[in-house]
């Protein structure tokens, strides 16, 4: 019996060694940051007419996390995410941020669609000392005032701010036939900022233009006919509109019914290049009811830039979600890769060290090269504006007839001077 | 200028008629049952989703989809009243408010689960597409349709409540439910029928909105605020008040957007505040 045990001993030892070796080669690498996982707190609108943006934020974040985890995480640390609906309400956004940091233990925060929510979050991020990568909220005040002036360093914006919406001034400044502009604006921070910046920019090029009318629609407006009618009473040549998501779709469809496109020369729907808006007006575009007069931009469009990085991203996104990526998906996806690059450089999750690692960062993302601007923690990149046209390739409308400008020209640069804002 | 003013007034009337459809149901339920139904906006939303499903997805004619959505939401309203509200009639009104608020949360989440969080866009029916030239500008056929339906609903409601046996019973119950019961009126049955009727009016508003409005979770929230303002201005529980209140809010909203775009929202709340100060029971409300 004793002899037999000795006979099996070398074999058992060999098996044990093999097992140990296999563990060493197949186990996930140890997290070098000393945490069980890097926790990402994400929030956006997940209900109401703007819900697709929160959903796209969630889809973009999920895809980035899956890709990064499949390749071993960040410095061997797995990524985890918790998503919350901010309901487009500042109070909910603030409550979510506190919960995500204090209860969930989020190391970084992402998302936020509304400028109003973003402005409320700024001081809270300072108190919590957590970096939030903003991936949609667009008011220039978030970065110009809260970061550059007030020094809330925890704010980093990956998406293009309202400078992008004011690209309309650059697209149409050389058209002498368009002199009378009006707005149908979102009745909050974002709408006021776009109208203020657009007017300021256009006045520089065209002292002859007139701003003839403005109508303001609050969130959850379902009947825009009084706004359209009030603005059309001023006989504008062109309209710049800032309601977004489902409200943009409602506005555009009601404008078609009111015969607006028979009368004006251009309608610029600021974030009309967003996938949900393009899907929403697909029938009207296909039937030619905008008469080629509808223009738009976005904070990223899936059909530009024509790079391998972008094409591969769009393909993976479509495969994963059976939808095209909206800008809030791309910006959140890119924000997580920016986090990865910064944390790998800093080899730390500490706010100051990660912020230091962001300095001078230039990173290739699906939207193109993003460059970190240190003065206001804004990533700078290019997004075109274009005419809304039907695409046989995508079987839905896209932005075509693209107009591309250098951000050096149409973005605002420090030192920042206040933009006259308000209704 | 005159044409602009008249045109904007017409736009205001079409907005008013839409608001009237929603506030009518709210005020009828309050007038008879004494319940301030927070879930009225959710029933409006449910009506929109069901009409969208039947018309936009199943492919039924728009009219049939609207009628079926009324039936479905009426059934939901019946279940709400019969099984949840009825046991609470004898306790403090605050419990009824809490219950209807609970329904707001349940129904909002239910539509998210059933239809998803992304908004839906049905096509506009061919007979509502296009515009007529009115006061020198194109006025959408859809808005003409809304004005017609709103006025028609007003006439039908007047006829039902003033000229039918059921209307007399409902008015008697609203006036004094104990006396009505003593005279042999089956009060619980009247309550059920009125709640179902109010729910169907909410659904009618939701369903008729689908051709030009997106359908999304939470769309009832904005409508219910406006409906409350209207019922407060007109007098809680007063149908004539709801009609006049709708006209005031709709037309003044439209003129506010044209002449005072900076104060348009503020304008409506100021009117409500003035009415509450001068006549707390509302323009047509009786002192309770």
Same domain? For A232 and A190 the reply is yes
Q: Is B7 on the interface with A (CB under 8 A)?
A: yes
CATH, residue A360: 3.40.50.2300
Q: Which residues contact A329 (CB under 8 A, 6 or more apart)?
A: A56, A57, A59, A60, A63, A317
Across the range B167-194, mean pLDDT stands at 91
> What is the value of ipTM here, to two decimals?
0.91
Residue A416 lies in a domain: no
Calculate mean pLDDT across residues B97-114. 92
Q: Are residues A126 and A274 located together in one domain of the fold?
A: no
Please check whether residue A2 lies inside any domain of the structure: no
The verdict on A253 and A396 lying in the same domain is yes
User: Does A261 lie in the same domain as A227?
Assistant: yes
Co-location of A324 and A399 in the same domain: no
Distance between A340 CA and the closest CA of chain B, angstroms: 30
pLDDT in tens, B122-170: 899 999 999 999 999 999 999 999 999 999 999 999 999 999 999 999 9
Q: Where are the domains of chain B?
A: 2-215
The predicted-structure confidence for A241-267, as pLDDT tens digits, reads as follows 999 999 999 999 999 999 999 999 999
pLDDT tens for A384-415 read: 999 999 999 999 999 999 999 999 999 999 99
How many structural domains does chain A have? 2
**Nearest CB to A257: which of B140, B214, B261?**
B140
Average pLDDT, chain B: 92
What is the pLDDT, as a whole number, of residue B86? 93
Neighbouring CB atoms inside 10 A of A316's CB total 16
Q: How far apart are alpha carbons B40 and A375 in whole angstroms?
A: 50
Tokens at residue A160, please?
Answer: 């293009």
What mean pLDDT do residues A208-216 have? 96
Q: Indicate whether A376 and A394 sit together in one domain.
A: no
Residue A1: predicted pLDDT: 43
Per-residue pLDDT for A374 more than 50? yes
Give the nearest chain B residue to A279 (CA atoms).
Answer: B121
pLDDT at site A381: 98
pLDDT in tens, A263-315: 999 999 999 999 999 999 999 999 999 999 999 999 999 999 999 999 999 99
Tokens of A282: 């697909």
In a domain, residue A13? The reply is no
Report the residue from A46, A219, A246 with minimal CB separation from B214.
A246
Q: What is the per-residue pLDDT across A332-351, written as a single tens digit (0 to 9) for each?
A: 999 999 999 999 999 999 99
* B118 and A CB contact within 8 Å: yes
Task: Inspect the interface and report whether the beta carbons of A226 and B214 lie closer than 8 Å.
Answer: no
Question: How many residue pairs bridge chain A and chain B with CB atoms within 8 Å of each other?
Answer: 122
Q: Which domain holds residue A262?
A: 167-296+384-410
> How much is the average pLDDT of A63-90?
97
pLDDT tens for residues B29-82? 998 888 889 999 999 999 999 999 999 999 999 999 999 999 999 999 999 999
Q: Which tokens go with A108?
A: 């970084």
CA B195/CA B192 separation, integer angstroms: 5
Q: Does A154 touch chain B (CB under 8 A)?
A: no
Report the alpha-carbon distance of residue A302 to residue A398 in Å, rounded. Answer: 9
Q: What is the mean pLDDT of chain A?
A: 93
What average pLDDT does this structure show over A317-330?
96
CA distances from A2 to A8, A9, A188, A244, B132 (A): 10, 11, 86, 81, 104
Alpha-carbon distance B62 to B68, whole Å?
Answer: 10
As beta bridge partners, residue A391 has A396
Instruction: Choose among B212, B228, B253, B198: nearest CA to B44.
Output: B198
pLDDT at B222: 78
pLDDT for res B262: 79
Residues A187 and A324 in one domain: no
**pLDDT tens column, B276-288:** 999 999 998 776 5
Residues on chain A touching B139 (C-beta within 8 angstroms): 258
State mean pLDDT over A58-79: 98
B-facing residues of A in 257-276 (CB < 8 A) are: 257-259, 262, 276
The verdict on residue A23 lying in a domain is no
**What is residue A13's predicted lDDT score, i.e. its pLDDT?**
59
- On whether residue A28 sits in a domain, the answer given is no
Contact status, residue A60 vs residue A325, Cβ threshold 8 Å: yes
pLDDT at A105: 98
pLDDT of residue A133: 98
Q: Give the span between the Cα atoms of B248 and A25, in whole angstroms.
A: 75
Q: Which residues in chain A are contacts of B8 at CB distance < 8 A?
A: 226, 229-230, 233
Chain B partners of A229 at a C-beta cutoff of 8 Å?
Answer: 7-8, 11, 137, 254, 257-258
Residues of B in contact with A250 (CB under 8 A): 212-214
Is the same domain home to A54 and A147?
yes
Asked if the model's pLDDT at residue A4 lies above 60, the reply is no
Angle between helices A225-232 and B239-259 (to 10 degrees): 30
Q: Mind telling me how many Å the CA of A224 is from chain B's nearest CA?
A: 10
Looking at the structure, tell me whether residues A176 and A287 fall in a common domain.
Answer: yes
Least confident piece of the model among A10-19, A189-198, B84-93: A10-19
pLDDT band at B20 (very low <50, low <70, confident <90, very high): very high
- Same domain as A154, residue A221: no
Over residues A202-230, mean pLDDT:
94
pLDDT at A65: 98
> Pick the residue with more confidence: A272 or A2?
A272
Instruction: Determine the 3-state secondary structure of B248 from DSSP.
Output: helix
- Determine, for residues A257 and B253 on separate chains, whether the beta-carbon distance falls below 8 Å: no
Quickly state the pLDDT bin for B1 (edges 50, 70, 90): confident
Q: Residue B77: how many CB atoms within 10 A of its CB?
A: 29
3-state secondary structure chain A: CHHHHHHHHHHHHHHHHHHHHHHHHHCCCCCCCCCCCEEEEEEECCCHHHHHHHHHHHHHHHHHHHHHHHCCCECCECEEEEEEECCCCHHHHHHHHHHHHHHHCCCEEEECCCHHHHHHHHHHHHHHCCCEEECCCCCHHHHHHHHHHCCCCCEEECCCCCCCCCHHHHHHCCCCCCCEEEEEEECCHHHHHHHHHHHHHHHHHCCCCEEEEEEEECCCCCCCHHHHHHHHCCCCCEEEECCCCHHHHHHHHHHHHCCHHHCCCEEEECCCCCHHHHHHCHHHHHCCCCCCCEEECCCCECCECCCHHHHHHHHHHHHHHCCCCCHHHHHHHHHHHHHHHHHHHHCCCCHHHHHHHHCCCEEEECCEEEEEECCCCEEECCCCEEEEEEECCCCEEEEEEEECCCHHHHCCCCCCCCCCCCC
Residue of A53, A256, A257, A321 to mutate when probing chain B, most B C-beta within 10 A: A257
Q: Are residues A207 and A278 in the same domain?
A: yes
* Helix/strand/coil for B128: helix
Which pLDDT belongs to residue B223? 87
Residues A84 and A119 placed together within one structural domain of the fold: yes
């Amino acid at each position: 019996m004793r002899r037999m045990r000795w006979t099996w001993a070398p074999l058992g030892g060999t098996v044990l060694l093999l097992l140990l070796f296999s563990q060493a080669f197949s186990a996930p690498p140890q997290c070098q940051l000393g945490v069980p996982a890097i926790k990402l707190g994400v929030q956006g609108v997940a209900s109401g007419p703007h819900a697709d943006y929160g959903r796209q934020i969630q889809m973009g974040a999920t895809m980035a996390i899956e890709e990064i985890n499949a390749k071993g995480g960040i410095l061997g640390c797995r990524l985890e995410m918790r998503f919350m609906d901010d309901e487009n309400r500042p109070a909910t956004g603030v409550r979510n941020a506190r919960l995500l940091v204090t209860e969930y233990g989020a190391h970084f925060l992402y998302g936020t669609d509304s400028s109003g929510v973003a402005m409320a979050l700024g001081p809270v991020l300072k108190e919590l000392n957590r970096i939030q990568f903003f991936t949609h909220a667009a008011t220039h005040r978030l970065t110009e005032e809260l970061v550059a002036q007030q020094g809330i360093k925890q704010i980093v914006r990956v998406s293009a701010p309202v400078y992008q919406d004011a690209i309309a001034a650059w697209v149409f400044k050389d058209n002498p036939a368009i002199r009378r502009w009006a707005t149908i604006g979102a009745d909050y921070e974002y709408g006021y900022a776009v109208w203020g910046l657009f007017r300021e920019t256009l006045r520089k090029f065209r002292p002859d233009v007139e701003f003839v009318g403005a109508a303001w629609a609050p969130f959850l407006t379902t009947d825009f006919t009084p706004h359209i009618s009030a603005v059309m009473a001023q006989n504008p040549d062109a309209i710049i509109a800032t309601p977004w998501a489902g409200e943009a779709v409602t506005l555009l469809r009601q404008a078609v019914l009111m015969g607006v496109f028979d009368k004006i020369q251009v309608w610029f729907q600021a974030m009309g290049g967003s996938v949900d808006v393009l899907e929403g007006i697909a029938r009207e575009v296909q039937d030619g009811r905008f008469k080629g007069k509808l223009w738009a931009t976005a904070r990223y469009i899936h059909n530009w830039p024509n790079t391998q990085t972008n094409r591969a991203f769009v393909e993976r996104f479509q495969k994963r979600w059976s939808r095209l990526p909206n800008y809030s998906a791309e910006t959140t996806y890119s924000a997580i890769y920016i986090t990865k690059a910064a944390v790998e450089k800093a080899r730390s999750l500490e706010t100051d060290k990660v912020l230091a690692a962001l300095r001078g960062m230039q990173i290739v993302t699906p939207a193109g090269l993003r460059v970190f601007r240190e003065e206001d923690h804004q990533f700078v990149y290019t997004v075109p504006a274009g005419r809304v046209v039907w695409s046989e390739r995508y079987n839905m409308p896209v932005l075509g007839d693209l107009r591309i400008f250098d951000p050096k020209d149409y973005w605002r640069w420090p030192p920042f001077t206040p933009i006259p804002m308000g209704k | 200028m005159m044409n602009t003013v008249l045109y904007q007034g017409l736009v205001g009337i079409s907005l008013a008629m839409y608001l009237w459809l929603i506030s009518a149901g709210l005020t009828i339920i309050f007038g008879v049952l004494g319940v301030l139904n927070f879930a009225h906006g959710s029933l409006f939303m449910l009506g929109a989703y069901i009409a969208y499903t039947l018309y936009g997805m199943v492919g039924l004619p728009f009219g049939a989809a609207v009628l079926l959505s009324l039936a479905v939401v009426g059934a939901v309203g019946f279940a709400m009243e019969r099984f949840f509200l009825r046991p609470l009639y004898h306790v403090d009104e605050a419990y009824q408010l809490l219950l209807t608020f609970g329904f707001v949360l349940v129904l909002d989440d239910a539509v998210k689960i059933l239809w998803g969080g992304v908004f839906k866009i049905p096509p506009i029916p061919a007979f509502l597409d296009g515009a007529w030239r009115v006061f020198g500008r194109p006025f959408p056929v859809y808005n003409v349709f809304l004005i017609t339906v709103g006025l028609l609903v007003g006439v039908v409601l007047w006829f039902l409540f003033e000229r039918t046996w059921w209307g007399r019973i409902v008015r008697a119950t609203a006036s004094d439910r104990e006396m009505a019961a003593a005279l042999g009126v089956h009060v619980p049955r009247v309550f059920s029928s009125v709640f179902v009727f109010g729910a169907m009016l909410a659904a009618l508003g939701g369903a008729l909105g689908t051709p030009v409005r997106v359908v999304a979770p939470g769309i009832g929230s904005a409508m219910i605020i406006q409906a409350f303002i209207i019922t407060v201005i007109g007098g809680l529980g007063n149908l004539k008040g709801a009609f006049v209140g709708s006209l005031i809010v709709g037309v003044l909203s439209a003129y506010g957007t044209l002449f005072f775009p900076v104060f348009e929202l503020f304008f409506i709340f100021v009117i409500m505040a003035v009415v509450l100060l001068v006549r707390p029971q509302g323009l047509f409300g009786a002192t309770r």
